[in-house]
Amino acid sequence: MNYDLEIFKVISKIKENNAKNVLLQLPDGLKPRAKEIVDAISNELDVNIFIWSGTNFGACDIPLHSENAGIDLILHFGHSLYKK
């Protein structure tokens, strides 16, 4: 299945947020494409990239505690914003 990883937007958002430590969070179906995203970011920007290996059941399933590890931006793939 061909999914649009929105690489251009990914790079724009990292720049816009002036992020240095970025966490990629992908649903299981997209985890095999994590390296593709890492490579695309690394080609453009000098940032530390981490990959969340835990769950991604929805936009309500965000590893907020990663902030304690110095993450300043989470790139969450596969869901839209969770409306309260």
Partner 1 sequence: MKIEYFETRANIELPEITKELIDLVKDKSIAIFSTVQFLEQRDNLATKLLKYCKIVNIKLAHCTYPDQILGCSSFDSEIIEKPELFLYLGDGVFHPKSLLLNEIADEVYCLPPINLC
Tokens for 19, please give them: 């992020």
- The Cα 65–Cα 43 span in angstroms is 28
- Residues in 44-83 at the binding interface with partner 1, rule: CB under 8 A: 57-60, 62, 64, 66-67, 71-83
Q: Angle at Cα 21 formed by Cα 13 and Cα 49, nearest 5°?
A: 85
Crossing angle (nearest 10°) for helices 7-16 and 34-44: 50
Shortest distance (Å) from residue 21 CB to partner 1: 10
- Residues in 28-47 at the binding interface with partner 1, rule: CB under 8 A: 29-30
Shortest distance (Å) from residue 46 CB to partner 1: 19
Q: Could you say which of 15, 17, 42, 55 contacts partner 1 (CB under 8 A)?
A: 17
Total site size for partner 1, rule CB under 8 A: 35
